[in-house]
């Protein structure tokens, strides 16, 4: 009778041990499986070497997938965030593009040459407080150039006013290339406007500036809504 009891206890312990073994192995497999489930995300990388100051287009970049845990917080994830911007430094092939390596021409505050669009030129003209709308014209505004000149001499002289150019983009006022105001700088006077023009229009503006006085009229920056 005693031997049967020992046998029964041994069998029971064996079954319990087996169940515990398989339960532990199952939990281990599940944990390993979870570790292997890596979440992948898409980021933008360079398809080729991109030079400093080079404008980036769709052919220069591609989407790649990387583990989410390895993604840099500044990694670009959408092509629209890259296209049309320029690289502030060399970006190597296959390098993941980071936002601080990109800049748009309207965001540029260091080099006016980066703001000038392809096919255009930057040209500066002198202005006083009246000619510059009380020095209220700011970078990225649009202006028209109006020439006033005196024709003839003495009693037969006359004043002629002519619209020289329209919708000229302002690149800088004085040495200021961004329209944002800092807390310290709420107002700044300047004596020059730097404008973006096609080469022929630049010639026309320079010629007009030698004939007489140039005044600049400011366009509205408000985009009108659709009429009813």
Mean pLDDT for all residues in the chain: 82
Would the pLDDT of 228 be above 50?
Answer: no
The more confidently predicted of residues 155 and 202 is 202
- For residues 149 and 69, give the distance between their C-alpha atoms in angstroms, rounded to a whole number: 67
Q: What is the pLDDT of residues 185-196, one digit of tens each?
A: 566 789 999 999
Would the pLDDT of 81 be above 70?
Answer: yes
Would the pLDDT of 35 be above 70?
Answer: no
Please name the helix (run of DSSP H) or strand (run of DSSP E) that holds residue 136, with its range, or none. Answer: none
Specify the pLDDT at position 56. Answer: 86
Q: What is the pLDDT of residues 87-115, one digit of tens each?
A: 878 889 988 888 878 877 666 667 888 88
Give me the mean pLDDT over the 44-50 stretch: 89
Residues contacting 213, CB < 8 A, separation 6+: 131, 147, 148, 149
Specify the pLDDT at position 222. Answer: 83
The more confidently predicted of residues 121 and 102 is 121
pTM of this prediction? 0.66
């Amino acid at each position: 009778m005693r031997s049967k009891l020992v046998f029964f206890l041994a069998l029971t312990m064996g079954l319990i041990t087996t169940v515990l073994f398989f339960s532990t192995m199952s939990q281990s497999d599940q944990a390993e499986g979870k570790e292997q489930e890596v979440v992948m995300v898409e980021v933008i990388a360079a398809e080729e070497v991109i030079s400093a100051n080079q404008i980036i287009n769709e052919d220069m970049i591609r989407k790649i997938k990387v583990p989410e845990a390895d993604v840099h917080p500044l990694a670009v994830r959408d092509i629209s965030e890259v296209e049309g911007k320029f690289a502030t430094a060399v970006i190597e092939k296959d390098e993941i593009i980071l936002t601080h390596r990109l800049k748009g021409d309207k965001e540029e505050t260091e080099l006016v040459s980066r703001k000038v669009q392809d096919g255009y030129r930057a040209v500066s003209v002198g202005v006083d407080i009246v000619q510059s709308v009380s020095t209220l014209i700011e970078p990225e505004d649009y202006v028209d150039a109006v020439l006033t000149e005196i024709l003839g001499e003495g009693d037969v002289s006359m004043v002629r006013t002519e619209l020289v150019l329209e919708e000229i983009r302002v690149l800088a006022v004085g040495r200021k290339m961004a329209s944002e105001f800092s807390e310290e700088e709420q107002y700044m006077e300047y004596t020059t406007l730097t404008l973006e023009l096609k080469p022929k229009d630049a010639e026309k503006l320079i010629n007009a500036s030698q004939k007489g006085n140039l005044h600049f009229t400011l366009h509205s920056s408000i985009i009108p809504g659709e009429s009813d």
